[in-house]
Amino acid sequence: MNKPKPSKLAAALGAFGFALSVAALAGGDHQRRHDHVPANQVPASASEWFRVGEMAVRANKRDAANLRRAKNVILFVGDGMGVSTVTAARILEGQLNGRDGEFNRLSFERFGNTALSVTASANQQTSDSAPTATAMVTGIKTNDGAISVDQTINRLEPNADVTAAKTVKTILERAEERGMATGVVTTARFTHATPAVNYAHSSNRDWEADSNLPAGATVKDIARQLLEFPYGDGLEVALGGGRSYFMPNTAADPEYPTQKGRRADSRDLTAEWTAKYNNSEYVWNQAQFDAVNPAKTDHLLGLFERSHMRYEADRKDDAAGEPSLAEMTEKAIKILQKNRKGYYLMVEAGRVDHAHHAGNAYRALTDAIALSDAVKKAKQLTNDKDTLILVTADHSHVFTIAGYPSRGNPILGKTAVDGVAAKDALGLPYTTLSYANGPGWTGGQQRKEFNPANESTAAAAYTGSKLRPDLSAVDTENPNYMQEATVPMGSETHAGEDVAIYADGPGAYLVRGTLEQNAIYHIMADALGWNDHR
């Protein structure tokens, strides 16, 4: 008897390794049906992506009589925080505090459940933040540059009706529909890709203000979508940078009087925020932020820089003052937890990514440590019986830890073994941390084809002059040092390997194995009890 032909969805499930485990839930006949599912077919629509992510979570469910549901969910995203970044940040944090860095652990590394997240998007092997963040908050995968719209949309679709037809509802929007409180905290611009995917829908992540839109476009810019948010009673907390995208181009910035806003439509969205919501506040500096009373504030907008907030290492240099990521997280939780129906909160350490792009490991790692501090604060303020906390990254970077340095060797320093500097084939010292590409390129060694006759002499495999710099007298632990890069590029690039997911609280057991990134949405939805499959 001929076996039934596998469905397109079943083939998609097979492509991600889920078919066998999902089939096992339905019995032996269904199991046999998936034995020969093609492994080269991926979902071709938003509905298929959504279903694949949901089924991955269902396949991971345990048989247990009393599985708690989450009342609250907090999603922490270290933008660009790949595994090598976590490792190096762990070591740096320990060394900065006089501890064994290798034995040290960041706060979220102590969570009981971990998994790997596949970050490839619907059209990219190595992705940018827009589709990867979209995957986490919508349950589907989409294309490069897309903000919570499906993969069938044109990359530069200017029409509002077309965009609406391609829109995919986010976990924040679904939470607002259910009467929950919601918030987003970031150190990047609030209109930047990762925070924007929660509340906005656009084919182009760069349309942050109306002045960024093409002529004749009817789609709303990203900042405007925050103020015209149609679900529930709107976001309760919105904290980050990007003040200029909310201000008219006729108004002077309060911190930088010689600079003006970016909006061409004359709208002051900061003023509209306080006019729209009762018991609302808009703040732009540390003193105003500190004065906000969570018990009396129901809607808080904080925009602490014209563009991105400062790196953690540079916050002290801001005359007006900027709150730390941990401080913003604390304020957000205290406002959101007033809602008896629970809350959803995303917290992004957005500038880990920016420092990596600049080839500057120190600021990338210290911002990753700041994220760890924010997670620690969240753990102190919540109960693991009712709050699911996830920590992950949208993608990685081409950031490496190499050589054979001894344990305890400064992670930002030059590689040394038992105190003796290690040397490359040219007799020059090198750092433990480096990048595969980026602005730290310093010339590189001119190579020739490998000659087996000279393989006993490493230098004989090379030709040309010593174009690498001699780092002997260079302080590579200086916060401004740019690590060397192999390939010259104006900006270092993302990397395509899997990133980690760390989980604690109700539903954390679903975080295991290797998951497609869009499964993160389904884990959160399931923990909140939105998927009644138990």
With beta carbons less than 8 A apart as the criterion, state whether 515 and 521 touch.
Answer: no
**pLDDT confidence of residue 47:** 87
**pLDDT confidence of residue 60:** 61
Q: What is the pLDDT of residues 69-119, one digit of tens each?
A: 999 999 999 999 999 999 999 999 999 999 999 999 999 999 999 999 999
Report the distance separating Cα 132 and Cα 495, nearest Å. Answer: 13
Report the distance separating Cα 115 and Cα 135, nearest Å. Answer: 16
In one-letter notation, the amino acid at residue 400 is T
Look up residue 260 and give its DSSP letter: B
Mean pLDDT of the chain: 88
Nearest to 58 by CA among 518, 500, 526: 526
Nearest to 79 by CA among 411, 345, 356, 296: 356
Instruction: Read off the pLDDT of each residue in 254-269 and give the average, rounded to a whole number.
Output: 98
Look up residue 256 and give its DSSP letter: S
Instruction: Read off the pLDDT of each residue in 299-309 and give the average, rounded to a whole number.
Output: 98
Secondary structure (3-state) at 501 = strand
Q: Which pair of structure tokens corresponds to residue 471?
A: 């780092």
A 10 A CB-CB count for 490 gives 9
In one-letter notation, the amino acid at residue 113 is N
pLDDT band (50, 70, 90) for residue 227: very high
Phi/psi for 502 (5° steps) reads -115, 135
Flag whether pLDDT at 334 surpasses 70: yes
Query: What percent of the chain is helix, strand and coil (3-state, nearest 5)?
Result: 35, 20, 50
Q: What is the pLDDT of residues 43-58, one digit of tens each?
A: 888 888 888 888 777 7
112-136 as b/e: b if 16+ CB within 10 A: ebbbbbbbbbbebeebbbbbbbbbb
**pLDDT confidence of residue 224:** 98
Flag whether pLDDT at 256 surpasses 90: yes
pLDDT band (50, 70, 90) for residue 36: very low
Flag whether pLDDT at 26 surpasses 50: no
Nearest to 117 by CA among 485, 501, 482: 501
- Tokens 């760390």 correspond to 502
- Residue 17, CA atoms < 13 Å, CB-side half-sphere: 6
Strand partners, 280: 299
With beta carbons less than 8 A apart as the criterion, state whether 273 and 301 touch.
Answer: yes
pLDDT band (50, 70, 90) for residue 421: very high
With beta carbons less than 8 A apart as the criterion, state whether 160 and 210 touch.
Answer: no
First to last CA, the chain: 35
Which of the residues 117, 121, 129, 434 is marked catalytic? 129
For residue 511, the Cα-to-chain-centroid distance in whole angstroms is 17
pLDDT band (50, 70, 90) for residue 454: low
Specify the range with the lowest mean pLDDT, choosing from 263-267, 364-368, 459-463. Answer: 459-463
Which contiguous run of DSSP H or E holds residue 137?
A: helix 129-138
pLDDT band (50, 70, 90) for residue 41: low
Burial tier of 513 (Cβ tally within 10 Å: 0-12, 13-18, 19+): middle
129 is an active site residue: yes
pTM of the shown model: 0.87
